[in-house]
Amino acid sequence: MNIRTFLFGMIATFSSAWLLAIVVPYYKTRELKPVAYEEALDEKTGIYFPKRAGAIETGAKVYAQNGCYVCHSQLVRPTYAGNDIHRDGWAGFKQDPDRGDTRRETIALDYLGESFAQIGVMRIGPDLSNVGTRMRRKAVDLTAKMNETVRPESLLMEHLKNPRAKVENRASTCPSSAFLFDDSGNPKGEAVALVGYLMSMKKDDAVPASLNYAPKSATK
């Protein structure tokens, strides 16, 4: 083998990997379109379009600026790559009182409304794909326990201000974001946007069967 053949083979190898891992996925997902339900499979008709409320774009920028993506992922992994489906609240809930089993894997449409899909770098902290859903359930449980209304947004604000304030969280490595609050402890605009963004993360809507890639056995 001469140097010319070696270089050509090396360039072809790296180019193929770059093409398949970056270029092809980019062109397949850059213009996502709503997906239709199939009545035979989904028992409903119409168009599926994910619903997200809040200052998503602004909150996503605050999330990125503060490096939240370094320690938190936003990706419910396929069942062949991990056990996210079986972690309570990570992929939804197995027994939701209103919708039944809401667990599912992440799909590309989950990132609509964001200019960049913040899949994450590591999982030092919990995955946040369904943090909005988890916070709502936690608020409901605390409201029943304390006999006073607890808002999920308040729980997130408390965590941002002091992640280790509660005894059960003393071992948390999450850094404080107290700089997002003024001297009186009131949240600044960035904190409000970030919490709104986090609360928008809930993947409990039923996607068309054509988009639900989890094996049937994984959600039983």
Looking up residue 59, the CATH number of its domain turns out to be 1.10.760.10
pTM: 0.82
Instruction: Give the C-alpha separation, 84 to 29, whole Å.
Output: 23
Residues 93, 181, single domain; the answer is yes
Residues 152, 104, single domain; the answer is yes
Residues 198, 155, single domain; the answer is yes
Residues 23, 59, single domain; the answer is no
| Secondary structure (3-state) at 161 | helix
Per-residue pLDDT of the chain (220 residues; tens, 9 = 90+): 688 888 888 888 888 887 877 777 777 777 777 788 888 888 888 888 777 776 788 999 999 999 999 999 999 988 888 889 888 889 888 887 777 788 888 888 888 778 888 999 999 999 999 999 999 999 999 999 999 999 999 999 999 999 998 888 888 899 999 999 999 999 999 999 999 999 999 887 778 888 876 655 554 5
Residues 117, 182, single domain; the answer is yes
Q: Give the domain extent around 214.
A: 33-219
E-assigned strands of 13-72?
35-36, 47-48
Instruction: Give the C-alpha separation, 85 to 81, whole Å.
Output: 11
| Domain total of the chain | 2
Residues 22, 77, single domain; the answer is no
Q: Count CA within 13 A, CB hemisphere, residue 91.
A: 24
